[in-house]
Amino acid sequence: MNTIQVNNLHFSYTPGSSVLNGIDLELDQQTTAIVGQNGAGKSTFVKLLKGLLYPTKGEILFKGKNTRDYTAASLAKDIGLVFQNPNDQIFKNNVISEVMFGPLNIGQDDQEARHNAISALKKVQLDDKLDTNPYDLSLSERKMISIASILAMNTNIVIFDEPTMGQDFAGKEKLKEIIWDLRDQGKLIICILHDMDFAAEVFERTIVFNQGNVLADGPSREVFKQKNILQQAHLEQPSITQIANELGLDGNYLTDEELIQALKEKMTS
Amino acid sequence: MSIIQVEGLKYKYPDTDQLALDDISFEVKQGEFIGLIGRNTAGKSTLCFALSGLVPHFFNGGYGGKVFVNGLEVRQHEVGDIAAHVGLVFENPFSQMTASKYTVFEEIAFGLENMGVERNEMITRMDESLDLLDITSIKDKHPFDLSGGQMQRVAIASVIAMKPKILILDEPTSQLDPQGSEEVFKVVENLTKEGITIIMAEHKIDKLAEYADKVALIDHGKLIDFDTPAKVFSRDDLPDYGITAPTATRIGKALGIKDSKTDLFPVTIKAISREIGDKL
Ligand SMILES: Nc1ncnc2c1ncn2[C@@H]1O[C@H](COP(=O)(O)OP(=O)(O)OP(=O)(O)O)[C@@H](O)[C@H]1O
Ligand SMILES: Nc1ncnc2c1ncn2[C@@H]1O[C@H](COP(=O)(O)OP(=O)(O)O)[C@@H](O)[C@H]1O
Ligand SMILES: [Mg+2]
Ligand SMILES: [Mg+2]
């Protein structure tokens, strides 16, 4: 089964200052958003899942086996991670070699790697930039290149660290499609986000991190109801929910359609 | 007198055929807060570079028209001279870091030392900007050992500490948590009260609607509109420029509810809630 089990996970970069303080989570097939304040430990957590860092205490089990007992190369076939800063990930001098690098690295042959790279670049609509140097593109385009690089590896688990960063409306729509498409293929998707509207609309489950702990975890609809908890984690409710609250509506509203429908009924009655 | 004047500005990056900025003209008064919006690759960052002198001094290429900041014509002055009047927060905070300092504190002090700010004044400004961006607790950390959002806060603080007359911020809240973003908008709004002029490129339309005095809408390097948020956000053709209207405006339009104060569609959560509240 495609699950990750996290037991009593602790981590610190430097002795004496703890970043994660005992996280227990089971990550499964539901599309999952991780939200939380700057410095809460979100990026650190996903680097641990990917085996780029090792727990100071506790364990991470993937397919029932401790991530410590996998080699980085074998985990790479199963877990793809899109970094928060695309500049940390991109180092080739043209787009196509950049996106082919990961697939080649996990053992795809040249033809397969090229095929997967081009199909991933199509998904982010950058397949007309194959020979461009990534550093002659804007930051938002570089972010899309880094996403395509991971999609091309076709891993069972795909983790995105702030994919909506710097993306415009069309970019976010593209991401939505990519995420739903991965979900339909039965992949495990985890996504760190600061965009509450996007998290509420797209993800089934939301986990709130706060100072190295899990403060809330559940269906997105339930989590985004809890104004006090969100406030404590330096978050906000989705903007639609905020309007519904201002108006004192019962129930909870996450999308434009839900709120418009409810208000239409109220105003005619 | 306007503190920023842009007259027929055209610019093309080297080895490209398309104009990144195409005949842009506008003026900004001292203390105004201007939001810069447009789809990805519209030309927002390039306009930020042109206002701070990186275009044409650092990025060469084809240049036409004139840009004046605080009376200086950008093309005729070196970047160093312009920097005394204009501060720029880069889109990628990593680009802002000197890579030569060992602590966040030294990183922020660097610009002030360069300006020759006197010691006591420097300490006051350091404390103030660390506090405004809520990064006092990480002031002794290495600038590269920070989370993305923490680094973005440091980048903003290091420019704010220099108190430039004109402050340009290129998507400064892209990695900030929601409360941190709100704080940055508040900090920037407060700076306008001290007479500092703000240009901020942003995708957070709801926040610009609430805080900006005017919004400049750019597409394919052209200035499409330059007006109050209420006017720009009530345009029906926003989707053609890759922009979604603020949440309040979308709901207002769907329900046919206008803001009684502007006779346009509401742009803030407060306004839409007030108008609907009156009808329930
Ligand atoms: N390489 C490092 N060395 C030391 N401390 C680090 C390092 N990277 C991150 N930290 C610290 O660990 C904590 C968690 O950082 P992390 O990057 O996981 O946060 P985050 O939740 O992803 O935040 P953001 O929303 O800003 O991206 C922060 O206090 C940060 O300063
Ligand atoms: N360093 C560069 N070299 C060549 N072209 C560039 C460079 N930076 C940006 N561009 C191009 O200039 C145009 C405007 O980009 P930019 O100002 O970054 O837009 P925005 O900030 O609105 O996303 C785009 O077509 C982009 O690809
Ligand atoms: Mg992070
Ligand atoms: Mg930009």
**What tens digit of pLDDT does each residue of A160-212 get?**
999 999 999 999 999 999 999 999 999 999 999 999 999 999 999 999 999 99
What distances in angstroms separate CA A252 from CA A235, A244, B34, B250, one per listed residue?
17, 8, 34, 19
pLDDT score recorded for residue B231: 96
- Which residue among A21, A44, A213 is best mutated to probe the pocket of ligand 1, counting the most ligand atoms within 8 A of its Cβ? A44
Is some CB atom of chain B closer than 8 A to the CB atom of A169?
yes
- In which residue ranges of chain B is CATH 3.40.50.300 found? 2-232
Q: Above 80 in pLDDT, residue A20?
A: yes
- Which residue among A125, A126, A138 is best mutated to probe the pocket of ligand 2, counting the most ligand atoms within 8 A of its Cβ? A138
B110 lines ligand 2 (CB under 6 A): no
B178 lines ligand 1 (CB under 6 A): no
Dist. CA B276–CA B263, nearest whole Å: 14
Give the one of A87, A138, A267 whose C-beta lies nearest to B279's C-beta.
A267
ipTM score here? Answer: 0.94
In which band, very low, low, confident or very high, does the pLDDT at A138 lie, cut at 50, 70 and 90? confident
pTM of the model: 0.95
Which site among A82, A83, A126, A169 would you substitute to test the B interface, given the most B Cβ atoms closer than 10 Å to its Cβ?
Answer: A169
Mean pLDDT of chain B: 96
Architecture of domain B2-232: 3-Layer(aba) Sandwich (3.40)
Across the range B165-170, mean pLDDT stands at 98
Dist. CA B179–CA A21, nearest whole Å: 23
Across the range B43-65, mean pLDDT stands at 96
Q: What distance in angstroms lies between residue A251's CA and the mean position of ligand 2's atoms?
A: 44
Beta-ladder partners of A138: none
Across the range B54-61, mean pLDDT stands at 95
Give yes or no for a contact between A194 and A162, defined as CB atoms under 8 angstroms apart. yes
Pairing of strands A4-11, A20-27: antiparallel
B215 lines ligand 2 (CB under 6 A): no
Across the range B35-64, mean pLDDT stands at 96
Dist. CA A234–CA B177, nearest whole Å: 7
pLDDT score recorded for residue A2: 81
pLDDT score recorded for residue A267: 86
Beta-ladder partners of A5: A26, A61
pLDDT score recorded for residue A29: 83
Q: Above 80 in pLDDT, residue B238?
A: yes
Q: Do A194 and B177 touch (CB under 8 A)?
A: yes
pLDDT tens digits along A65-121: 999 899 888 899 999 999 999 998 898 999 999 999 999 999 999 999 999 999 999
Across the range B128-148, mean pLDDT stands at 96
Task: State which residue of chain A sits closest to B46, comparing Cα positions.
Answer: A138
Per-residue three-class SS string for B250-261: HHHHHHCCCECC
pLDDT tens digits along A222-269: 999 999 999 999 999 999 999 999 999 988 899 999 999 999 998 887
Cα of A86 to nearest chain B Cα, Å: 10
Residues of B in contact with A236 (CB under 8 A): 178-179, 182
What distances in angstroms separate CA A254 from CA A199, A218, A225, A240, B275, one per listed residue?
10, 15, 9, 6, 20
The yes or no reply on domain A1-71+156-237 and CATH 3.40.50.1110 is no
The distance of Cα B210 from the centroid of its chain, to the nearest Å, equals 14
Q: Where are the beta strands (DSSP E) in chain B?
A: 2-12, 21-29, 33-37, 62-69, 72-73, 86-89, 166-170, 197-201, 214-219, 222-227
Q: What distance in angstroms lies between residue B90's CA and the mean position of ligand 4's atoms?
A: 9
Mean pLDDT lowest for which of A85-89, B141-145, B204-208? A85-89
pLDDT score recorded for residue A1: 63
Dist. CA B115–CA B171, nearest whole Å: 25
DSSP H or E segment with residue A248: none
Q: Above 90 in pLDDT, residue B264?
A: yes
Across the range B31-53, mean pLDDT stands at 97
Q: What distance in angstroms lies between residue A266's CA and the mean position of ligand 1's atoms?
A: 46
pLDDT score recorded for residue B87: 97
Dist. CA A212–CA B234, nearest whole Å: 43
Give yes or no for a contact between A44 and A20, defined as CB atoms under 8 angstroms apart. yes
pLDDT score recorded for residue B260: 93
| Ligand 2 atom index nearest CA of B42 | 22
Across the range B68-74, mean pLDDT stands at 97
Using DSSP, state whether A227 is helix, strand or coil: helix
- Residues in chain B, total: 280
Q: Do B254 and A260 touch (CB under 8 A)?
A: yes
HSE value, Cβ hemisphere, 13 Å, CA-based, for B1: 5
Question: Would you list the domain boundaries of chain A?
Answer: 1-71+156-237, 79-154
Across the range A115-144, mean pLDDT stands at 94
String of b and e for B198-225 (b: at least 16 CB within 10 Å)?
bbbbbbbbbbbbbbbbbbbbbbbbbbbb
- Which residue among A12, A37, A42 is best mutated to probe the pocket of ligand 1, counting the most ligand atoms within 8 A of its Cβ? A42
